[in-house]
Amino acid sequence: MKFRAAYLLLLAASLLLLSGCYTVPETGRSSFIIPIGDDVALGTAAFADIKAKEKISTDPAANERVRRIGQRIAAAVGDALPGAKWEFVVFDAPETVNAFALPGGKVGIYTGLLKLADSDDEIAIVMGHEIGHVTARHGAERMSQGLMVAVGGVILDSATSGKKNHDLLLAGYGLASTGGILAFSRKHESESDYIGIRYAAKAGYDPRAAVTFWRKMAKASSPSKMPAFLSTHPSHERRIADLQGWMAQTLPIYEAAKLRYR
Ligand SMILES: [Zn+2]
């Protein structure tokens, strides 16, 4: 048992040595990332998989629209996404109100979401948000945290096995780490909201569309009133209040960029 714990401590220490700090674009936040895999290769493979499984829209107008908006957002992202080979694909699923972005600059958007969005500005807001998760490397950060939590759990298990309160300690650790990961997800959502409206504004899209779009999403989603501290998503009210708070600094960026896209 002692040897195992020592070995795991060594493993945890080497993971920490391997890990690095990543500076999140737009916010400047330092995040902790263990290099587990090649983000770009993983994202590209996953996107190929999704394209093979889902129905790709053949509507030329929808594809052209999404590509045009996407390319402007990609220009706003600039070199914040090294190695990106941008691709914007519309998936034909009228009931699916969703969009996603993967490392490598792969963006998917469902026709259900296009139906709900009233303007290019709203589509740009959603794309900006999804791309924000990627440039901020939220996936890698979450995996890194998950790995440290798992190693920590095993170390605690080894170190306390056979001792009094062993199960209680482990249960407490489980609860604390679950709470931590949930708070983390909410932080990621909010950070992507912020990054997303900045990308949209820099691409010449109206950041105020974030407020109208999330209001509409709030109406469309189930009326469940889960307290914010239990959910992975910030409450709609919280999210809208945050977005409104960021307008004063984002609107001038939009006004300036708009002129370039006249
Ligand atoms: Zn998100």
Contact 201, 193 (CB under 8 A): no
pLDDT in tens, 73-129: 999 999 999 889 999 999 999 999 899 999 999 999 999 999 999 999 999 999 999
CA of 129 to the centre of ligand 1 (A): 6
Q: At what angle do helices 236-245 and 209-220 cross, to 10 degrees?
A: 180
Check whether 188 has a pLDDT greater than 80.
yes
Residue of 144, 154, 130 whose CA lies nearest to 7: 154
The answer to whether the Cα torsion of 235, 241, 243, 246 is positive or negative is: negative
Contact 200, 253 (CB under 8 A): no
pTM confidence score: 0.86
- Helix or strand (DSSP H, E) at 137: none
Give the largest Cα separation in the chain, rounded.
71
CA of 192 to the centre of ligand 1 (A): 6
CA of 189 to the centre of ligand 1 (A): 5
Question: What is the pLDDT confidence band of residue 210, given thresholds at 50, 70 and 90?
Answer: very high
The Cα 100–Cα 98 span in angstroms is 7
Q: How far is CA 183 from CA 23, 48, 118, 142, 180, in A?
A: 20, 31, 31, 11, 5
| Domain residue ranges in the chain | 2-260
CA of 133 to the centre of ligand 1 (A): 7
- Residues marked as catalytic: 130
Question: What is the pLDDT confidence band of residue 223, given thresholds at 50, 70 and 90?
Answer: low
CA of 130 to the centre of ligand 1 (A): 6
Average pLDDT on 230-247 reads: 83
Quick one: three-class SS letters along 214-261? HHHHHHHCCCCCCCCCCCCCCCHHHHHHHHHHCHHHHHHHHHHHHHHC
**Residues measured by CB to lie within 5 Å of ligand 1, the ion:** 189, 192
Question: What is the pLDDT confidence band of residue 54, given thresholds at 50, 70 and 90?
Answer: very high
The Cα 230–Cα 141 span in angstroms is 21
